Amino acid sequence: MARLTPRALSIAAIVAAAGLLTPLSAAQAKAGFTPGAPGAGDPYFPDMGNGGYDARHYSLSLAYDAGTKAIDAEARISATATQNLSRFDLDLLGPLKVGKVKVDGHTAKFERTGAQELVITPPHGLRKGRSFTVDVTYSGVPQMINDKALGISGWIQTHDGAVALSQPFGSATWYPVNDSTADKATYDFTITVPKGLQVLANGEPAGTRTHGATTTFRWVDKQPTASELVMVAIGHFDVKDTRTPSGLRNITAVDPAAVKSATASDDFNRATADIIDWEQKLYGRYPFGSVGGIDVLAPAVGYSLETQGRPVYARRSAGAIPSAGLLAHELGHQWFGDAVTPAQWKHIWLNEGFATYSEWLYSEQHGGQTAQQLFDQAYDSPDTDWSGKVADPGRDHIFDDLTYTRAAMTIHQIRKAVGDKAFFQLIKAWPAAHRYGNATTAQFVSFTEHFTHEDLDKLFQAWVYSEGKPAL
Ligand SMILES: [Zn+2]
């Protein structure tokens, strides 16, 4: 770390007096103010995230135009410099136009470079440890991502509005962000839509105000959230704001076009409550301020996502409410993926394995097949693909079967090796140990071995670090 010395200051003053350079640029050069890295170091997604600062809070204000589908927006990002910063990047993807950027209220220079960099040069360098705010005004029609291997994500238009689903990337299609799983932040949302439409987001509602032809919804998300799990949904919804039997606030929303049954909204709210209360017994205290879910018709999507506190079940056509197994999966993610988030994308089996195992445990404890039977089926199935490593699936394979089924099989093998008593303690202790933070495969391996006092090296070597079908 280089500190600004009095000597550097005096040189700067001399240089400035000579009219050659501004005092700060000379001082900064002397004190080692350098640009933040344009990526956060994830080998699968080198452009995602940025270096040099830690984003703490995002305050996102958006006005949505239902006619043009455009947003007119302002993002305020509160951050702390983690190095002496001469400039830094945010991630921003697609056709959105940036109007103005300010750092601590002062107009800053900016340019868009590379695939997704919004490069911001503040008028003064930012000293390591210093808190600062960045205001970005921007507008346009956000464009979703359609990745050849990973499918659709980002700001997605639905039949009557939009929904933001951003795993692994996509948040940068609708707001400037440090788009790294490792830089969690809190959020608040102020979203203005034409009167008659509803808005849901992460966290809890904080007021609604109608002004003429528009309504503004505020939501506040008080627990650290990874950008991939940030969600906004705009459309017509039947919203239920209730409590689960254990007392958790439970806000669900059903798109009337997504479900056929007249009781769907109540059924979905109750099913969510039942599953989350069951999972609290398995995984420990629910980590967020409220739970819920959004059942929405989004013909482009056809998948569900564990957006923090409030998963989105996006479907291509109308049908029944999500199955108990699907609810168990997405709500199980609240502990595995949301409260504890992979430090890099290669560790995603820690999300999907536990979410899939939540389905297995739900089945086992509700009169269905046991986890052992589900394991046996997958182990014997000719369809199980044994190529690739669970702990390092590769960029294009993070959503393949190996991070789901083979990861769940791995978890079942741990259960068999350590016994039910230790296993059911472990699945409470692990998410509690890393709540609101990040974790890696290596941390999970060492935590599991320490916690259970078992040497599981052979098991992990065979099931997560190697290719091929492990012997039993
Ligand atoms: Zn999942």
| Overall domain count for the chain | 2
Ligand 1 midpoint to CA 178 (Å): 23
Answer whether residue 352 is part of any domain.
yes
- Give the integer Cα–Cα distance in Å for 29 and 52: 16
Answer whether residue 400 is part of any domain.
yes
Predicted local distance difference test score (pLDDT) of residue 26: 59
Ligand 1 midpoint to CA 21 (Å): 54
Ligand 1 midpoint to CA 329 (Å): 6
Ligand 1 midpoint to CA 18 (Å): 62
Predicted local distance difference test score (pLDDT) of residue 25: 59
Answer whether residue 394 is part of any domain.
yes
Ligand 1 midpoint to CA 446 (Å): 24
For residue 59, the cross-strand partners are 76, 188
Answer whether residue 370 is part of any domain.
yes
Ligand 1 midpoint to CA 2 (Å): 44
Predicted local distance difference test score (pLDDT) of residue 28: 63
- Give the integer Cα–Cα distance in Å for 228 and 71: 20
Answer whether residue 351 is part of any domain.
yes
Ligand 1 midpoint to CA 411 (Å): 15
Answer whether residue 68 is part of any domain.
no
* Domain that includes residue 19, residue range: 6-32
Q: Write out the two tokens for 120.
A: 């911001």
Q: Could you read off the pLDDT tens digit of each residue along the chain, which spans 472 residues?
A: 333 333 333 344 433 333 333 445 556 665 689 999 999 999 999 999 999 999 999 999 999 999 999 999 999 999 999 999 999 999 999 999 999 999 999 999 999 999 899 999 999 999 999 999 999 999 999 999 999 999 999 999 999 999 999 999 999 999 999 999 999 999 999 999 999 999 999 999 999 999 999 999 999 999 999 999 999 999 999 999 999 999 999 999 999 999 989 999 999 999 999 999 999 999 999 999 999 999 999 988 989 999 999 999 999 999 999 999 999 999 999 999 999 999 999 999 999 999 999 999 999 999 999 999 999 999 999 999 999 999 999 999 999 999 999 999 999 999 999 999 999 999 999 999 999 999 999 999 999 999 999 999 999 999 999 999 999 9
Answer whether residue 171 is part of any domain.
no
Ligand 1 midpoint to CA 280 (Å): 18
Predicted local distance difference test score (pLDDT) of residue 381: 97
Ligand 1 midpoint to CA 306 (Å): 7
- Give the integer Cα–Cα distance in Å for 333 and 355: 5
Ligand 1 midpoint to CA 355 (Å): 6
Answer whether residue 318 is part of any domain.
no
Ligand 1 midpoint to CA 404 (Å): 8
**For the domain that residue 402 is a member of, what is the CATH number?**
1.10.390.10
Ligand 1 midpoint to CA 155 (Å): 19
